[in-house]
Amino acid sequence: MAANGSTSTRVAIVGAGPAGLLLGQLLTVAGIDNIVIERRSPEHVLARIRAGILECGTVDALARAGVDARLRREGLVHHGIELSFGGARHRIDFHALIGRDVTVYGQTEVTRDLMAARQASGMPTVYDAEEVSLHDFDAQRPRVRYRKAGAMHEVACDFIAGCDGFHGVSRASVPATATQVFERVYPFGWLGVLSDTPPVADELIYASHPRGFALCSMRSKTRSRYYVQVPSTEQPEAWSDARFWDELRRRLDAPAAEALVTGPSIEKSIAPLRSFVCEPMRFGRLFLAGDAAHIVPPTGAKGLNLAASDVVYLADGLAAHYRDGDPRGLDQYSETCLRRVWKAERFSWWMTSLLHWFPDADAFAHRIQQAELDYLVGSEAACRSLAENYVGLPR
Ligand code: RFL
Ligand code: PHB
């Protein structure tokens, strides 16, 4: 069908998750026109409960985009985390070990702030775009087409940023022969519950237990986010609130189990765990960023942070291209991102292997896992290594 609405811009961004919206803001601040095209409604995008931990570099990127005011007021700065295993808790003090911290501020809030800034900037955003398709990104003038309210639209642009997540259309538009994919699917997922109850502790607790991994996280002083490891075959409907709280309590050390305040869940969902990287991240005038190019299991709290570092590299490359005609940032985009991505993949895989209960692990594997936990909490060098990866390696 012919397009009956045609526009043009410099950068067409597919996807209004944190990667797409942050890229849009960074480009807008740099004076580069852009459009964001999103398949879902804004309400749907805001209803997804996901990440909670921001690295310093992500906070800096949000500051550059001019969206850090509420984050500075409401975000909780955490100086460390706790590991719980064998009935005891062990604190890893990031601040003492490496002098850096992380900020607890939900992805939903990051997205809300980015949406508000975008609306204020007047840059166009199309929500509820159906049948989004990418064309001619291997030529000079790429185009993105979509259907909205029954009419076809076409956006001509200089570049396309594929920020449409793991199941998006951007990566799927690249011929399979042009990509190499690396993947590991874990035989379990995380069942997550959000509740308006005070967090069980001041910092996050990562618990390794023979019944499976558990994580106590939070969104504020009055809102908690908890997860328990479940087999990949589980459905959230099989988990009443009572069953969830009971299972969580059994995986925590006694003081935490006792301190746990329970209440009705306001969200309950299961996220599968996967490691995935698509190489390269650039195809002509199409750049993939965030979950569209790579997935990490959430154990290392790296997904959103990687999405942010990708789009900072991309925004810098595009700014140098438009400002000085300098192609180097764009030419090196894929290689620069992938170096960082693989380090985060390694750390996320390691944290996942360290803390989860693997169904096919034998007795030897269990002893090695216990020895590794024991070594970690007894070694300042090992704690420092965890700390520098968790707070985020330098860009
Ligand atoms: P998103 O957030 O998936 O956004 C992609 C957007 O693209 C839209 N889209 C399309 N738009 C147009 N046309 C199409 N054909 C489209 N197909 C899809 C989608 O509707 C969506 O709006 O990807 P993005 O922006 O790359 O952001 C990535 C992050 O969302 C993700 O990495 C993190 O949430 C991962 N993650 C965590 N990351 C952290 O850094 N710290 C954490 O503490 C953390 N915790 C988590 C997490 C992810 C989790 N789940 C649910 C997998 C905890 C969990 C449980
Ligand atoms: C979260 O609060 O949702 C969260 C925190 C830390 C993680 C993963 C998820 O490692």
Q: Which of 217, 350, 356 maximizes ligand 2 atoms within 8 Å of its Cβ, making it the mutation to test the pocket?
A: 217
Q: Whose CA is nearest to atom 2 of ligand 2?
A: 52
Is there a contact between 355 and 366 (Cβ–Cβ < 8 Å)? no
For residue 206, indicate whether it is catalytic: yes
For residue 298, indicate whether it is catalytic: yes
Looking at the structure, give the CATH architecture of the domain made up of residues 6-78+101-183+275-352: 3-Layer(bba) Sandwich (3.50)
Q: Please count the other Cβ atoms lying within 10 Å of the Cβ belonging to residue 108.
A: 19
- Among 206, 227, 313, 333, the one annotated catalytic: 206
List, run by run, the mean pLDDT of 10-residue segments along the chain (395 residues): 77 98 98 98 93 95 98 97 97 97 96 98 98 97 97 98 98 97 97 98 98 97 97 97 98 98 97 98 98 98 98 98 98 98 98 97 97 98 98 92
Strand, helix or coil at 10? coil
CA of 145, nearest ligand number? 1
> Alpha-carbon distance 182 to 294, whole Å?
9
211-214, Cβ contacts within 8 angstroms, sequence gap of 24 or more: 211/247, 211/250, 211/251, 211/357, 212/188, 212/251, 212/356, 212/357, 213/251, 213/299, 213/355, 213/356, 213/357, 214/247, 214/248, 214/251, 214/252
* Residue that is written with structure tokens 């990509």 in the block: 179
Ligand 1 — pocket residues by CB below 6 A? 14-20, 37-40, 45, 50-53, 107, 129, 132, 163-165, 168-169, 190, 192, 271, 290-291, 298, 301-305, 307
pTM of the model: 0.97
The pLDDT of residue 4: 64
The domain covering 186-273+358-391 belongs, at the CATH homologous superfamily level, to D-Amino Acid Oxidase, subunit A, domain 2 (3.30.9.10)
The pLDDT of residue 3: 54
The pLDDT of residue 49: 84
Domain spans in the chain, listed from the N-terminal domain onward:
6-78+101-183+275-352, 186-273+358-391
